[in-house]
Amino acid sequence: KKSYNIVVLPGDGIGPEVVKQAVRVLEAINTSSPDVELKLSSYDFGGCAIDATGEPLPPATLAACQSADAILMGSVGGPKWSVGKVRPEQGLLALRKTLGLYANIRPASFASPSLVESSPLKPDIVRGTDITVVRELIGGLYFGDRKELGAEPKPDTAWDTMIYSEEEVKRITRVAAKIALASNPPLNIHSVDKANVLASSRLWRKIVTETIETEFPQLKLDHQLVDSAAMLIVYNPRKLNGVIVTENMFGDILSDETSVLVGSLGLLPSASLAGAPNLDLKPGEKPPPGLYEPIHGSAPDIAGQGIANPIGTILSASMLLRYSLGLEKYAKAVDEAVKKVLDDKSAGGFGMRTKDLGGESTTSAIGDKVLEVLKTLL
Ligand code: NAD
Ligand code: IPM
Ligand code: MN
């Protein structure tokens, strides 16, 4: 049996609630698979780690992540820790940076066509949209080095710096291009920046253009300014179908916005990788550990109520199986089970919806049904 070591970081707020359902999915695969063994172990991370140890990313958690085959995370943060000097979010940024996870892949495609009716936008606007945001994850404003760049702010000021090197732009462009090429026909690439104002965006635009023209001349590339891109996502999103490649903070903001197209923030998964996903990974090949998490946060407003949507986390587990473990067969089964749970009855599904999608199903009821369907597919 091929054995994989998966570190689970439930985190804060709804994190543990949604992770629990994704863990059940991985455990079901572990139990019924004759060829793979998934070894899951949980560690403190985020606010709960601050409470336990004083730091959001304790050394034992980091060490476990570094030696894992893949990491499944819920979410971190919350009002309890938002005013402290040490914040849960710092642990997440440190984990991404330390593992070199520069490529954050956030697909916003319909988990079920029935969800067209659940989007707060008109069906005619959202139908047929399929956008994957490829977000640069360890550069830009989030990481502009405060020490190297001069004095700390005067008492009445604060600053952040957006820096990108050519190499950082080049490597994320290559990831976006490889994702585009994995589809047949290849997807279009939309690079999003603010080149009319920011020097870092002018470098971004130049390097993206050069990289695509010289290394991927078969791909179609256009450039959008971030403000009008934000408008297009809700006005005519099909125009942005394909891959959006963008810097860290623009990608953070736009990916939450794309979730509205397919119904809810609670639906979207993500993979954070140290390179292009191994779309054609052979069973047994080991890429560097990837971090898989829903794109949403700890949702303090609904935490503890058992109503959070677990689908984004379950689909993150599917991305984990696909990209880090090369277990396409199981990833497909999970996607199919999720689809069936969401599909309307007229399409042969169960039409289940959590509250964020206008329904009444609980987090665990969705998990139960996904498991029930999954077991028939394994
Ligand atoms: P959020 O994503 O936690 O919540 C935004 C809104 O979406 C809320 O109304 C929430 O109830 C809803 N929502 C989110 N996920 C949902 C789900 N699975 N099911 C149903 N509804 C869902 O954003 P926020 O409120 O701005 O941030 C709360 C905390 O989470 C902050 O501390 C923030 O830093 C943190 N955060 C963490 C991560 C992460 O760990 N990756 C990501 C985003 C935000
Ligand atoms: C996300 C979150 C994080 C980010 C925060 C919690 C640091 O919003 O994963 O989208 O901004 O990257
Ligand atoms: Mn975010």
What confidence tens digit (pLDDT) does each residue in 191-228 have?
999 999 999 999 999 999 999 999 999 999 999 999 99
295 vs 319: CA distance, rounded Å: 13
Q: Residue 266 Cα, ligand 2 centroid: separation in angstroms?
A: 14
What pLDDT score was predicted for residue 357? Answer: 96
317 lines ligand 2 (CB under 6 A): no
What pLDDT score was predicted for residue 102? Answer: 97
What confidence tens digit (pLDDT) does each residue in 148-172 have?
666 666 778 888 899 999 999 999 9
Is 0.95 exceeded by the ipTM?
yes
End-to-end CA distance of the chain: 17
Q: Are 181 and 219 in contact (CB under 8 A)?
A: yes
Establish whether domains 1-105+269-378 and 120-261 are of one fold.
Answer: yes
pLDDT at residue 280 greater than cutoff 60: no
Counting from 1 in the atom list of ligand 1, the atom nearest the Cα of 46 is: 40
Q: What residue owns the CA closest to ligand 2's atom 5?
A: 89
Q: Are 350 and 344 in contact (CB under 8 A)?
A: no
What confidence tens digit (pLDDT) does each residue in 17-43 have?
999 999 999 999 999 999 999 999 999
What pLDDT score was predicted for residue 54? Answer: 96
What pLDDT score was predicted for residue 180? Answer: 97
Strands (E), 169-233: 189-193, 221-225
Say what percent of the chain tops pLDDT 70. Answer: 96
Q: What residue owns the CA closest to ligand 2's atom 6?
A: 89
pLDDT at residue 124 greater than cutoff 70: yes
Neighbours of 242 (CB within 10 A): 23
Would you place residue 277 in the very low, low, confident or very high pLDDT band (cuts 50, 70, 90)? confident
Ranges of each domain in the chain: 1-105+269-378, 120-261
56 lines ligand 2 (CB under 6 A): no
Neighbours of 18 (CB within 10 A): 31
pLDDT at residue 56 greater than cutoff 60: yes
Would you place residue 281 in the very low, low, confident or very high pLDDT band (cuts 50, 70, 90)? low
What pLDDT score was predicted for residue 41? Answer: 98
Average pLDDT of the residues in 292-305:
98
Average pLDDT of the residues in 179-196:
97
Would the pTM count as exceeding 0.90?
yes
Pick the CATH number of 120-261 from 3.40.50.920, 3.40.718.10, 3.40.920.10, 2.70.70.10: 3.40.718.10
What confidence tens digit (pLDDT) does each residue in 65-82 have?
999 999 999 999 999 999
Residues facing residue 190 across a β-bridge: 222, 244
Neighbours of 20 (CB within 10 A): 17
pLDDT at residue 16 greater than cutoff 60: yes
Q: Residue 252 Cα, ligand 3 centroid: separation in angstroms?
A: 5
Average pLDDT of the residues in 361-373:
98
What pLDDT score was predicted for residue 153? Answer: 64
77 lines ligand 2 (CB under 6 A): yes
Q: Residue 339 Cα, ligand 2 centroid: separation in angstroms?
A: 27
Counting from 1 in the atom list of ligand 2, the atom nearest the Cα of 256 is: 10
SS3 content of the chain, % helix, strand, coil (to 5): 45, 15, 40
Active site residues: 142, 194, 227, 252, 256
Give the type of residue at 323. Answer: Y
Q: What residue owns the CA closest to ligand 1's atom 8?
A: 299
Counting from 1 in the atom list of ligand 2, the atom nearest the Cα of 76 is: 6
1-105+269-378 folds as Isopropylmalate Dehydrogenase (3.40.718)
92 lines ligand 2 (CB under 6 A): yes
Q: Residue 251 Cα, ligand 3 centroid: separation in angstroms?
A: 8
What pLDDT score was predicted for residue 53? Answer: 97
pLDDT at residue 121 greater than cutoff 80: yes
Would you place residue 288 in the very low, low, confident or very high pLDDT band (cuts 50, 70, 90)? confident
Q: Residue 73 Cα, ligand 1 centroid: separation in angstroms?
A: 13
What confidence tens digit (pLDDT) does each residue in 77-109 have?
999 999 888 999 999 999 999 999 999 999 999
Q: What residue owns the CA closest to ligand 2's atom 1?
A: 295
What pLDDT score was predicted for residue 286? Answer: 65
Of 111, 131, 117, 114, residue with least CA distance to 338: 111
